[in-house]
Amino acid sequence: RSSCYQPTSSGNARRCFTAVCCRPRGDGCIARAIHTFLRMAIRHMTSMLESMSGFSTRAIMETGHYVSMALGGDLRAFSALRCLKLYLERLGYEGRHALQVGRGALLFMRTSLAAEELLQFAPSQIAAAVLYCDRAHSGCIPLWPTVLARLTGYAGPDEPFFASAVDAVSVVAARQGGQAMMSPVSPLQNSF
Protein backbone atom coordinates (compact mmCIF):
# COMPACT_ATOMS: atom_id res chain seq x y z
CA ARG A 1 0.00 0.00 0.00
CA SER A 2 2.82 2.46 0.74
CA SER A 3 3.93 2.35 -2.89
CA CYS A 4 0.61 3.93 -3.86
CA TYR A 5 1.61 7.13 -2.13
CA GLN A 6 4.76 7.64 -4.20
CA PRO A 7 3.36 8.89 -7.52
CA THR A 8 6.76 9.79 -8.96
CA SER A 9 7.42 6.22 -10.00
CA SER A 10 5.62 5.14 -13.15
CA GLY A 11 5.69 1.52 -11.96
CA ASN A 12 3.89 2.49 -8.76
CA ALA A 13 1.32 4.50 -10.67
CA ARG A 14 0.70 1.54 -12.98
CA ARG A 15 0.23 -0.84 -10.05
CA CYS A 16 -2.15 1.59 -8.37
CA PHE A 17 -4.14 2.14 -11.55
CA THR A 18 -4.38 -1.61 -12.18
CA ALA A 19 -5.40 -2.24 -8.55
CA VAL A 20 -8.12 0.38 -8.77
CA CYS A 21 -9.46 -0.93 -12.07
CA CYS A 22 -9.49 -4.56 -10.95
CA ARG A 23 -10.90 -4.16 -7.44
CA PRO A 24 -14.38 -3.05 -6.44
CA ARG A 25 -12.91 -0.38 -4.20
CA GLY A 26 -9.69 1.55 -4.27
CA ASP A 27 -8.75 3.65 -1.29
CA GLY A 28 -6.39 6.54 -1.93
CA CYS A 29 -4.65 5.09 -4.97
CA ILE A 30 -7.13 6.22 -7.57
CA ALA A 31 -6.47 9.92 -7.15
CA ARG A 32 -2.70 9.48 -7.25
CA ALA A 33 -2.79 7.09 -10.21
CA ILE A 34 -5.08 9.29 -12.27
CA HIS A 35 -3.08 12.39 -11.36
CA THR A 36 0.15 10.70 -12.45
CA PHE A 37 -1.34 9.40 -15.68
CA LEU A 38 -2.84 12.77 -16.54
CA ARG A 39 0.50 14.48 -15.90
CA MET A 40 2.17 11.98 -18.21
CA ALA A 41 -0.43 12.59 -20.92
CA ILE A 42 0.02 16.32 -20.67
CA ARG A 43 3.75 15.83 -21.19
CA HIS A 44 3.03 14.05 -24.49
CA MET A 45 4.00 10.61 -23.29
CA THR A 46 1.01 9.05 -24.96
CA SER A 47 2.74 5.92 -26.19
CA MET A 48 4.36 5.34 -22.80
CA LEU A 49 1.04 5.88 -21.07
CA GLU A 50 -0.71 3.31 -23.23
CA SER A 51 2.05 0.70 -22.95
CA MET A 52 2.30 1.07 -19.16
CA SER A 53 -1.39 0.83 -18.44
CA GLY A 54 -2.69 -1.36 -21.24
CA PHE A 55 -5.50 1.18 -21.74
CA SER A 56 -5.90 3.70 -24.52
CA THR A 57 -5.10 7.31 -23.73
CA ARG A 58 -8.68 8.22 -24.50
CA ALA A 59 -10.02 5.64 -22.02
CA ILE A 60 -7.71 6.94 -19.30
CA MET A 61 -8.61 10.56 -19.99
CA GLU A 62 -12.34 9.75 -20.00
CA THR A 63 -12.02 7.80 -16.75
CA GLY A 64 -10.15 10.68 -15.16
CA HIS A 65 -12.80 13.10 -16.37
CA TYR A 66 -15.69 11.00 -15.01
CA VAL A 67 -13.98 10.46 -11.65
CA SER A 68 -13.23 14.16 -11.39
CA MET A 69 -16.86 15.02 -12.24
CA ALA A 70 -18.24 12.49 -9.76
CA LEU A 71 -16.00 13.83 -7.00
CA GLY A 72 -16.70 17.44 -7.88
CA GLY A 73 -13.00 17.96 -8.56
CA ASP A 74 -12.08 16.80 -5.06
CA LEU A 75 -9.42 14.14 -5.58
CA ARG A 76 -8.60 13.59 -1.91
CA ALA A 77 -8.67 9.98 -0.82
CA PHE A 78 -12.14 8.57 -0.31
CA SER A 79 -11.80 6.59 2.87
CA ALA A 80 -13.95 4.95 5.48
CA LEU A 81 -12.61 7.39 8.05
CA ARG A 82 -13.69 10.34 5.93
CA CYS A 83 -17.16 8.78 5.51
CA LEU A 84 -17.45 8.27 9.25
CA LYS A 85 -16.58 11.91 9.90
CA LEU A 86 -19.21 12.94 7.34
CA TYR A 87 -21.84 10.76 9.03
CA LEU A 88 -21.00 12.31 12.41
CA GLU A 89 -21.25 15.80 10.91
CA ARG A 90 -24.68 14.98 9.47
CA LEU A 91 -25.76 13.86 12.93
CA GLY A 92 -24.90 17.37 14.07
CA TYR A 93 -21.47 16.72 15.55
CA GLU A 94 -18.60 18.79 14.27
CA GLY A 95 -15.02 19.42 15.27
CA ARG A 96 -14.13 18.46 18.82
CA HIS A 97 -17.63 17.32 19.65
CA ALA A 98 -17.57 14.86 16.75
CA LEU A 99 -14.27 13.49 18.05
CA GLN A 100 -15.76 13.02 21.52
CA VAL A 101 -18.98 11.41 20.33
CA GLY A 102 -17.37 9.15 17.75
CA ARG A 103 -14.18 8.45 19.68
CA GLY A 104 -14.71 4.70 19.85
CA ALA A 105 -15.70 4.42 16.22
CA LEU A 106 -12.79 6.59 15.08
CA LEU A 107 -10.33 4.55 17.14
CA PHE A 108 -11.75 1.34 15.68
CA MET A 109 -11.37 2.72 12.16
CA ARG A 110 -7.74 3.60 12.69
CA THR A 111 -6.82 0.21 14.12
CA SER A 112 -8.95 -2.14 12.03
CA LEU A 113 -9.26 -1.05 8.42
CA ALA A 114 -6.72 -3.60 7.23
CA ALA A 115 -8.68 -6.48 8.79
CA GLU A 116 -9.33 -9.22 6.25
CA GLU A 117 -13.05 -9.29 7.05
CA LEU A 118 -13.51 -5.64 6.03
CA LEU A 119 -11.69 -5.66 2.69
CA GLN A 120 -14.74 -6.79 0.72
CA PHE A 121 -16.76 -3.70 1.66
CA ALA A 122 -16.70 -0.18 0.25
CA PRO A 123 -15.43 2.56 2.57
CA SER A 124 -18.92 4.02 3.03
CA GLN A 125 -20.30 0.60 4.02
CA ILE A 126 -17.55 0.07 6.58
CA ALA A 127 -18.15 3.53 8.04
CA ALA A 128 -21.90 2.92 8.30
CA ALA A 129 -21.38 -0.48 9.95
CA VAL A 130 -18.82 0.91 12.40
CA LEU A 131 -21.15 3.76 13.34
CA TYR A 132 -24.05 1.33 13.75
CA CYS A 133 -21.98 -0.95 16.02
CA ASP A 134 -20.69 2.00 18.03
CA ARG A 135 -24.21 3.35 18.52
CA ALA A 136 -25.46 -0.12 19.52
CA HIS A 137 -22.58 -0.53 21.98
CA SER A 138 -23.28 2.92 23.45
CA GLY A 139 -27.03 2.32 23.74
CA CYS A 140 -27.97 5.24 21.49
CA ILE A 141 -31.62 5.78 20.72
CA PRO A 142 -32.63 5.66 17.96
CA LEU A 143 -30.06 3.12 16.96
CA TRP A 144 -30.20 4.03 13.25
CA PRO A 145 -31.67 7.53 12.88
CA THR A 146 -33.55 8.64 9.79
CA VAL A 147 -30.74 11.01 8.81
CA LEU A 148 -28.32 8.05 8.59
CA ALA A 149 -30.84 5.94 6.70
CA ARG A 150 -31.26 8.71 4.14
CA LEU A 151 -27.56 9.46 3.90
CA THR A 152 -26.39 5.85 3.56
CA GLY A 153 -29.35 4.34 1.76
CA TYR A 154 -29.61 1.61 4.42
CA ALA A 155 -32.92 1.43 6.25
CA GLY A 156 -31.27 -0.66 8.95
CA PRO A 157 -29.45 -3.88 9.69
CA ASP A 158 -32.19 -6.00 8.12
CA GLU A 159 -30.77 -5.31 4.67
CA PRO A 160 -28.51 -8.25 3.75
CA PHE A 161 -25.45 -6.36 2.56
CA PHE A 162 -25.56 -3.91 5.47
CA ALA A 163 -26.05 -6.84 7.87
CA SER A 164 -22.94 -8.50 6.38
CA ALA A 165 -20.89 -5.34 6.97
CA VAL A 166 -22.20 -5.05 10.55
CA ASP A 167 -21.34 -8.71 11.17
CA ALA A 168 -17.82 -8.22 9.82
CA VAL A 169 -17.26 -5.15 12.00
CA SER A 170 -18.63 -7.05 15.01
CA VAL A 171 -16.20 -9.92 14.40
CA VAL A 172 -13.23 -7.55 14.20
CA ALA A 173 -14.40 -5.61 17.28
CA ALA A 174 -14.83 -8.84 19.27
CA ARG A 175 -11.34 -9.92 18.28
CA GLN A 176 -10.04 -6.62 19.66
CA GLY A 177 -11.94 -7.17 22.87
CA GLY A 178 -14.61 -4.60 22.02
CA GLN A 179 -12.54 -1.85 23.66
CA ALA A 180 -12.35 0.29 20.53
CA MET A 181 -16.13 0.59 20.40
CA MET A 182 -16.49 2.22 23.80
CA SER A 183 -17.94 5.69 23.44
CA PRO A 184 -17.71 8.07 26.41
CA VAL A 185 -21.04 9.73 25.59
CA SER A 186 -24.29 8.82 27.32
CA PRO A 187 -27.09 7.38 25.15
CA LEU A 188 -29.37 10.38 25.67
CA GLN A 189 -26.65 12.82 24.65
CA ASN A 190 -26.10 10.94 21.40
CA SER A 191 -29.68 10.51 20.24
CA PHE A 192 -30.91 12.17 17.05
pLDDT in tens, 47-88: 676 777 788 878 888 887 887 777 666 655 567 888 888 888
- Count the Cβ atoms, other than its own, within 10 Å of residue 160: 8
Which has the higher per-residue pLDDT, 49 or 105? 105
Rounded Cα–Cα distance for residues 102 and 86 (Å): 11
pTM of the predicted model as reported, rounded to 2 decimal places: 0.55
Quick one: pLDDT at residue 128? 92
Residue 140 pLDDT grade (very low, low, confident, very high; cuts 50, 70, 90)? confident
Type of residue found at 39: R
Q: Is the pLDDT of residue 167 over 60?
A: yes
Buried b (16+ CB within 10 A) or exposed e, 164-190: bbbebbbebbeeeeeebbebebeeeeb
